[in-house]
Structure 1
Amino acid sequence: MSPDEAPEPSPRKKTARETAAPGPRTLAIDIGGSGLKALILGPDGQALTERQRVATPKPATPKAVMGALTKLIQPLGAFDRVSVGFPGVVEEGVTKTAHNLHKGWVGFNLAQELGTVTGRPVRVLNDAGVQGFGVIEGRGVEMVLTLGTGMGCALYVDGKYVPNLELAHHPFRHGKTYEEYVGNAALRRVGRKKWNKHVERVLQQIQPIFNPRRIYLGGGNARLLDIPFPENVKITENVAGLLGGFALWKDEPVPR
């Protein structure tokens, strides 16, 4: 049989969970400085598919990232809406900052562009904000810190998100910002043991300022932590950065 006559590949088989889950499916995307991740969430907010991941293009221009995302989501199947976590300030779907990506993201209408690509409605939020929605309890003051390429931060009061809190770029110690002190570059520079001490100092600084009932630590480098934690500090699974995407649509009625 010639290549032109080869049969079409069989479509991906749906799992029993996918078949049994009527209602809107949410494509959850997490854009990071080192990786792009995606999966499909069912109408109950639980994962229907395995997480897909590819490396973030270098340089991480909007065009390059959008191209990589298009390929990333192809194997995941059908979805009805899209949630995106983005590493920077986001206002009404427009990315305002992107310290760990490319300057081309400043003023980029990510929601509109991704909506054009997917043909579906899109909502975008800061990535730490999305991660928090995957783990918070919705009581009192709660804070999320993500440790990865940089340092993400999100604050919640009784479950309500406080937008655009970029603690990472605030001065911290010895002329360095929080991100310069505990980001991935700092980890490589000072080594794991000393980096752990850096994270411990950050937690000590945050506690008396924000007085959070709970601090959640996430991001790819959280798994490297080996320090004694105060009772109100908890490590979270990195997949929360995708699972929290369901909350971006909580004001939408679920069809019955």
Structure 2
Amino acid sequence: MSGERGFGVDIGGSGIKGAPVDLHRGDLADERFRLPTPEPSTPAAVADVVRQVLDHFAWTEPFGCTFPAVVQHGMVCTAANVDASWIGTDAHKLLATATGRQPLVVNDADAAGVAEVRFGAAKGLDGVVVVSTLGTGIGSALIVGGKLVPNTELGHLDVDGHDAESRAADAAREREGLSWEAWAARLSRYFQHLENLFWPDLIVVGGGVSKRADRWLHLVETRTKLVPAALRNSAGIVGAAALATEQRTKPMR
């Protein structure tokens, strides 16, 4: 990584957060600045909040931005926890126009996965890594030999006739009042299905519930080593900043 600092913005359903990132340490270089996600969370309204986050730090260089959706070559293809009008939006063009800076927009789980591989729980592992974020749904990132395979959406695998996240996300645990043991049994089925498809060398589990990994992680049965995420709430910002800086420093062909 040639640049010492980058900048990441994390767009979520309730808040839009950003901070400069130290790309040597893989950590935030300043305290995060957060503003509420506007309601309705239309493209123009969200883009204006992203501009405000950048302006707060007087950041003028390219930046990375996470988004809770499939993002293919800058185009938003789905919408989760944001307004449906995002579907079909060229997010790169929108944010470049709204902010006056050059953005790189990436799926939120993909950004977190890149951060965990480069700086966190999977650092130094040159193999197949799956990063799974457990929250309202199940986000996923697949990294092979240090390279991201984008937009995998592994939370929507069919497991026992059900969309996986409908039964194994942390929201399902809370909604159904499941014990840690009962939830771990569902996670076991999900991760076993996933590892039979991809044969990962490591599975990293993130999301807010990873802070309580001591309550449930040991109950999940897999042949693959399972570890909690290391970067917690900063992973999306760090990963987005790293990807944007990498894109900026690629040689022209």
TM-score interval, normalised by the smaller of the two chains: 0.7 to 0.9
Q: Which moved more, 1:124-133 or 1:181-190?
A: 181-190
Q: Does 1:144 align with 2:102?
A: no
Matches within 5 A, 1:124-143: 124-136=105-117, 137=123, 139-143=126-130
Can you give the 5+ residue segments of structure 2 that lack an aligned partner in the other structure?
118-122
Aligned residues: CA RMSD? 2.6
Structure 1 residue aligned with 2:31, among 31, 35, 50? 50
Matches within 5 A, 1:170-249: 170-173=157-160, 175-191=161-177, 193=179, 194-225=182-213, 226-227=215-216, 228=218, 232-236=225-229, 237-238=231-232, 239-248=234-243, 249=245
Count of aligned pairs: 232
Per-residue deviation, residues 202-250 of structure 1 (Å, max 9, x unmatched): 2232222211101111122332442215562111132111111233132
Structure 1: how far apart are the matches of 2:92 and 2:227?
A: 32
Q: Residues 171 and 76 (structure 1 numbering): CA distance in 2 closer, same or farther, change over 3 Å? A: same
Structure 1: how far apart are the matches of 2:96 and 2:54?
A: 13
Q: Is the 8 A contact 1:143 1:153 kept in 2?
A: yes
SS of the aligned residue for 1:74 comes to: helix
Residue 75 of structure 2 is matched in structure 1 by 94
- Larger relative contact order (C-alpha < 8 A, sep ≥ 6)? 2
Query: Aligned-pair distance for 1:33?
Result: 2.9
Name the larger-Rg structure: 1
- Structure with more helix by fraction: 2
Letter paired with 2:197: I
Q: Is the 8 A contact 2:135 2:208 kept in 1?
A: yes
Query: Aligned-pair distance for 1:95?
Result: 0.9
Query: Aligned-pair distance for 1:46?
Result: 4.0
Can you give the 5+ residue segments of structure 1 that lack an aligned partner in the other structure?
1-21
Runs of 4+ more than 6 Å apart: none
